Chains A and B, each alone.
Chain A
Amino acid sequence: MNILWLQAAGCGGCTMSALCAEAPDFLETLEGAGLEFLWHPALSLQSGAEVRVLLESVESGETPLDILAIEGAIARGPMGTGRFQMVSGTGRSMLDWVRALAPRARHVVAVGTCATYGGMTSAGGNPSDAIGVQYEGAHVGGVLAEDYRDPTGLPVVNVSGCPTHPGWVTETLMLLAAGRLREADLDDFARPLFYAQHLVHHGCPKNEYYEYKASAVQLSDHGCMMENLGCVGTQAVGDCNIRPWNGEGSCTRGGYPCIACTAPEFEEPRHPFVETPKVAGIPVGLPSDMPKAWFMALASLSKAATPERIAKNAVAPRVEVAPTHRKPKGRR
């Protein structure tokens, strides 16, 4: 299968992240699955006139297109013209090109939270009037309409994330190449369930602190960042702590909060990213599928039961008190 990759209004970081894929690397992974780039803006040789000819040949249907991958949101401004992003050399906007090319593709994949929902490009009053390929924030219907389906019946596949984990991108593309991705394999926001059925909380190394509500007070503290530092890992989808990033990383492993970058409208939390909004001292963003009263009851119990080791370590930059051990009983 061939892939035409376009970079719309975004930072290019999802490509840069994808190139961190491991075992094997990004290009080998795709090759092995029978995927090749018709053109990629960061990788291909063709530039200028050669690319214009290629784009026109895909538009006319002369060159068949299997996967149209779009990275970055689509700018509609100014005044609905799309001229905030012109595809250079073509005299046409990216908005116009996406509308022209998407109907030619067997599948359309939106890569990253900008392409899926608008993302950071649509933050703060949305200066470029940017939207996602099939969503505008959390509302379905973007550059492509709510009822868009590709020739195989799939909506735009939304690989959200800011940036996307390399595995989310390669595995989505490989599932498509193998014909093994159905609409039932996507969640309510059209994200592949293989990563969207997990929460960032799953496998978070701060789980023991969370269990006792032993909270970090400031960035650089070791404790759980939910109560004070804006962490929404208990609500955010992603397997970030199950299969880490760049070897062994994740946001929470790096000592800073999860900001739910896989979610529509994450760019406007309506509070500072690294502060937890509270009402009467109680965080407002509690785990979404747990009754609030139960959460409060469990939290106050576990707080009261916090071992000293955990309480101390939670507000230190590194482990200060190691676990103590009981001697095994069987031997002398």
Chain B
Amino acid sequence: MSETPRLVVGPFNRVEGDLEVQLDLAEGRVASAQVNAPLYRGFERMLEGRAPSDALTVTPRICGICSISQSAAAAQALAAASGLVPTPQGALMAALIHAVENAADHLFHFNLFFMPDFTRPAYAAQPWYRLAVERFAAINGAAGRAAIEARTQLMHILGLMAGKWPHTLALQPGGVTRAPGPRDKLRIETSLRQFRKYLEREVFGGSLEEFVALGSIDALMRWQHGDVGLFLEIAAETGLADLGRGSGRYLSFGAYPLAEGHGFAPGLWCAGTLSPVDPSGIVEDLSHAWMLGGAAHPFEGQTEPDEAMREVAYTWCKAPRMKGEPLEVGALARQVIDGHPLARELAGGGVLARVAARLLELARTQILMEQWAAQIDPAGVFMHHGAVPENGTGAGLVEAARGSLGHWLRIDGGKIASYQIIAPTTWNFSPRDAQGVPGPLEAALVGAPVMEGEDTPVSVQHIVRSFDPCMVCTVH
């Protein structure tokens, strides 16, 4: 028998952080995939023994692209441990700050990370190729340039309310550090108005309300305007709907917790059925990670790197499982669980579904941000204060742009005794577990076509980037 051809794909760029993918091929397709997160820094260990409040300074620095998500999770974990609830206006402002980051991340993913792959020479014969190059060529594409400018302007909201981005200390367990005045509210509304103009002109080529009203895949595929229209044309012609299909099992911790409920609802979606999230069912399996110790819930978990890097393991990433099952997280998961009719039709889909759901969420997030800006009360109370207890536990379960992010904190004698983190890409790019069940990306890659002579298969790149991985968060 001949040896199975094997490809090692890396360095994998236009993903945040380091990623290597190993592919076994058979008959021009991926037969099996192994995903390796090749960077270990040990943030969980750095936190041990520190003052609990230091988590707000340290954890955002896990990731420079979803820094505020890390802040939000740390603030929520500390609030839970302290029995503190943010003021309603504080929660509103924290949601707005967080939503700006998430919208910016979705925008960059589409324009700078995902779409440039369609400008590869492999597509030169396609009728849409010239337009794709004009809009999405890496570094020089007009859409990428416009996205950088629009994001910079949108982030003025963060300069105003969060001091700077990334790595702010503005999000606190009891709310936010800066109380906006009347003119701050106006500046926020002005920035959001500009951002909407840009989205409607360049990205969607039409009204956001019309886009979020699309109720089916058929209706979606008829959207011909803007860069979204170009993407949908490309998607239809290159078969992105069936490329890298997911399991259809989704998790969301719920995005933007406000006094009146979540901006996007929490839930667990399995085989077409929605159920509540039970975080006690989460276990991290270490069988194929260079980590020592047994499988455990994050409140009991540990992070002890296997410095010998044993042969059977192949990544620094642990394998989180919910009641034994891998789950996909991200914008598609959130929109399916929130019940959007288009997303419900996209459930279980592949590259098209993930990217379309992210665009849907971008439009919906803009509308939410505008509503929240209108609700800012310049005379309101933006922060509660309370002491962190000497002993206690707390979990912070939030939604980053890329999916569900959890922080599990244990305080002993006024110091952090244990801090465990499961990031979105830890779920999506997890390795196999003890039962040999692959993680969501590993499963989605099986069957991907590999052309003769391809050493970095373009189909694999589309699938990997459709998840919008954040590798620096994955292992942390």
Contact = CB atoms under 8 A, between A and B. Distances in A.
B19 interface: yes
B13 A127 contact: no
Interface stretch (B147-155, B252-260, B276-284, B420-428): B147-155
B471 to A, nearest CB: 9
Interface stretch (A81-89, A133-141, A142-150, A321-329): A81-89
Nearest to B62: A11
Interface string A206-233: 0000000000001110000000000000
Contacts of A249: 158-160, 162-164
A85 B177 CA distance: 36
A254 B53 contact: no
B152 A25 contact: yes
B10 A128 contact: no
Interface string A76-102: 011100011111111000000000000
A127 B42 contact: yes
B58 A120 contact: yes
A77 B42 CA distance: 11
Contacts of A267: 58
Contacts of B67: 11, 13
A318 B67 CA distance: 27
A317 interface: yes
Contacts of A246: 152, 155-156, 158-160, 164-165
Contacts of B316: 84
Contact of B50 (A42, A124, A245, A318): A124
Given A12-B17, A42-B13, A249-B160, A17 B139 contact: no
A49 to B, nearest CB: 4
Contacts of B383: 219-220, 317
B404 interface: no
Contacts of A275: 51, 53
Interface string A34-71: 00010111111111111110000000000000000000
Contact of B305 (A39, A40, A78): A78
A162 B38 contact: no
Contacts of A77: 307
Contact of B169 (A44, A45, A245, A251): A251
B48 to A, nearest CB: 7
A21 interface: yes
Nearest to B169: A256
A220 B48 contact: no
B288 to A, nearest CB: 16
A235 to B, nearest CB: 17
A12 B64 contact: yes
B309 interface: yes
Interface size for chain A: under 10, 10 to 19, 20 to 34, or 35 or more residues?
A: 35 or more
Interface string B35-71: 0101111100111111101101110011111010000
Interface stretch (B112-120, B213-221, B437-445): B112-120
B30 interface: no
A83 to B, nearest CB: 6
Contact of A12 (B9, B119, B461, B472): B472
B168 interface: yes
Contacts of B46: 120, 123-125, 127
Interface string A268-286: 0001111100000000000
Interface string A221-264: 00000000000000000001000111111111111110101000
A20 interface: yes
B53 A274 contact: yes
B456 A47 contact: yes
30 contacts: A7-B18, A11-B61, A20-B165, A39-B13, A42-B16, A43-B14, A45-B137, A49-B456, A52-B11, A75-B39, A78-B309, A83-B309, A84-B316, A87-B11, A120-B46, A123-B46, A125-B46, A127-B40, A127-B45, A163-B166, A246-B156, A246-B159, A246-B165, A247-B156, A248-B160, A249-B159, A256-B168, A267-B58, A273-B54, A274-B169
Given A49-B455, A88-B18, 14 more contacts: A13-B64, A14-B64, A16-B65, A20-B165, A25-B149, A40-B13, A84-B305, A87-B11, A88-B12, A124-B48, A248-B160, A249-B163, A274-B169, A275-B53
